[in-house]
Amino acid sequence: MKNKAVYARILKLIKPHLMLIIFSLLMAVLNVLCTLYIPILTGRAVDCMTGKDNVDFEGIRIILITFLAVLLINGISNFFMTLSNNRVTFRVVKDVRRKMLLKIHSVPVSYLDAKGHGEILSRTITDVERLSDGLLLGFSQLFTGVLTIIGTLAFMFYTNGLISVVVVLLTPLSLFAASFISRKTYKHFSKQAKLQGEMTGFINESVNAVRLIKAFGAESEKEKSFDEMNENFAKVNLKALFFSSTTNPVTRFVNGLVYASVGIFGALLGINGKITIGTLTCFLSYANQYTKPFNEISGVVTEFQSAVASAGRIFEFLDAEDTADISEGMTAVENPVLSGNIKIEDLAFSYDKSKKLLYDISFDVPKGHHIAIVGPTGCGKTTFINLLMRFYEPDAGKILYDGIPSGSLHKADLRSQIGMVLQDTWLKSATVAENIAYGHPEATREAIEAAAKKAHAHSFIMRLENGYDTVLSQDGGNLSAGQKQLLCIARVMLNLPPILILDEATSSIDTRTERKITDAFAAMMEGRTSFIVAHRLSTIQNADLILVMKDGNIIEKGTHEELIEKQGFYYSLLNA
């Protein structure tokens, strides 16, 4: 995304807070006027004390009172300006974070899979923080810096035009230096933000897979990969910091030239009686105040370049195409009540469009029937489940729910009528009860406990420190894999929908508990359309229909007995 487009988008984010910005600008003007009036008072005080036995005590007293009043106004205006700037910045950042979270929920699952969770995490946290820092500095120092430069020039020309011309002639040097450094730093900060996102993703992956890394002794390989990544990041970081760190010495050098020129030229005018000592003192203060904002603005520009680079990454994510709630060309069906009749017609899908995965999938599922899907790893079982849930859209063919194409159903309406237990468990950092009631927070404690008992989770829950009020760590890290899976099963049993999907739902449970869960599933599935994906063939022998998949296609279908009689691929799986 080009810089101009990024700036335009940042301004669009700020626009809703225009009144606060105007108020902040007014406070900045008042603050700058007070700051610039102080050198005039200082110059007058000096003139009141110039000459032997010529001290104007009354004049100095009035100047001191005025000085204190100006300082008070300056402090109050600075307080309200800072308060307004902080409010604008953090409200903008709050809005951006909310948009980022909503975007994570609205983009296709395929986009998140392609980008990687660490990369998304980096954009949501690190890049948003950089944008926040850049905006805060921009509002706080850019406003006052620009106003100070303009105001100082106005006061200087009002006081003495000749010295002011000297200052103006030297100004382009500072502007040229700031512009050159700004162009260089943006390129490196942009690359820095990209590399930081990759590092965040790598670390996130390493933390999540730490047990696997240790189990396979892959620490040295991971460390080597990280060292290479870290080295590249360090090089880019050093380049970015080098150019950004030249800002201060370069501008200080130009500032020194300005200050020295004003001092020399002003002294010559003072010797010739063209200006008073107080006026020269005033001018030297103005020369210092005039050049100081260039230092601050250069620093702000450097920080802002980093913020703009991060903003570009944020906007790139926010501009990602949302997944369609209703498929193109379909008419939305509002508030459907599904009974569980499902029809699959010529279904085809692949992640990589150059390679076939699922194709020519067709079968009917009457209401209340239990469909088992078996086959070797990679044959497309879980992919088929993802299509049923509309996590992905089919490339061809249809999935009909009670005769309604899946693309005509709002995703929320469809998913609210499907209960799903996956092989990969997910629990949030909350109490056991809140995890079971996830998606149904209005559930009573009695209903939650009843669901846990059906899932055979009640006994281990009661052994926890605080029972159902025990707070689980992130992703249920303080529970075993089997216990986490039992909680996920209880979550579905809390509010049984007309369609159930069990994708390796008992993979982490011991054989004894599995038998109990199988009985619970049997009761749960009664009268409900169910899809069961399992490697253990013992768990699907009572299914009304078994679909045997291989290489993305259904090669056999029938009941357990019918498939045994055929002595085909299913028979060989069973014997294996």
- CA Rg value for the chain: 35
Q: Note the pLDDT of residue 509.
A: 67
* Residue 357: φ, ψ to 5°: -125, -70
Average of per-residue pLDDT across 143-164 = 77
pLDDT per residue as tens digits for the range 291-338: 677 666 766 776 777 788 888 888 888 888 888 888 887 788 888 888
Both tokens of 511, joined, read 């054989």
DSSP label of 556: E
Q: Note the pLDDT of residue 183.
A: 66
What ranges do the domains of the chain cover?
Answer: 96-318, 342-575
Q: Note the pLDDT of residue 380.
A: 81
Dihedral sign of CA atoms 516, 522, 525, 529 in order: positive
Average of per-residue pLDDT across 15-40 = 85
Q: Note the pLDDT of residue 570.
A: 83
Separation CA 264–CA 270 (nearest Å): 10
Strands 342-349 and 396-401: antiparallel
Q: Which CATH topology does 96-318 take?
A: ABC transporter transmembrane region fold (1.20.1560)
pLDDT, averaged across the chain: 81
The more confident residue out of 452 and 482 is 452
pLDDT per residue as tens digits for the range 110-135: 777 777 777 788 888 888 888 887 77
DSSP string covering 51-115 = STT---HHHHHHHHHHHHHHHHHHHHHHHHHHHHHHHHHHHHHHHHHHHHHHHHHHS-HHHHHHH
Q: Note the pLDDT of residue 478.
A: 72
Separation CA 358–CA 344 (nearest Å): 12
Per DSSP, the three-state class of 152 is helix
Q: Note the pLDDT of residue 254.
A: 73
Please, which residues have CB within 8 angstroms of residue 537's CB and are 6 or more apart in sequence? 374, 573, 574
Q: Which of the listed ranges 162-166, 262-266, 368-372, 513-517 does the model predict with the highest average pLDDT?
A: 368-372
Average of per-residue pLDDT across 246-264 = 74
Q: Note the pLDDT of residue 181.
A: 67
Q: Which of the listed ranges 157-166, 197-206, 325-334, 403-412 does the model predict with the highest average pLDDT?
A: 403-412
Q: Is the pTM of this model over 0.85?
A: no
Count CA within 13 A, CB hemisphere, residue 568: 17
The more confident residue out of 141 and 326 is 326
pLDDT band of 277, cuts 50, 70, 90: confident
Checking if the pLDDT of 72 tops 90, the result is yes
Separation CA 146–CA 258 (nearest Å): 17
H or E, element range at 492 = helix 481-493
Asked if residue 317 lies in contact with residue 103, where contact means CB atoms within 8 angstroms, the answer is yes
Q: Which CATH topology does 342-575 take?
A: Rossmann fold (3.40.50)
Separation CA 451–CA 457 (nearest Å): 9
Checking if the pLDDT of 492 tops 80, the result is yes
Separation CA 424–CA 333 (nearest Å): 32
Q: Which of 176-185, 308-317, 458-467 has the lowest mean pLDDT?
A: 176-185
Average of per-residue pLDDT across 177-200 = 72
Average of per-residue pLDDT across 122-149 = 79
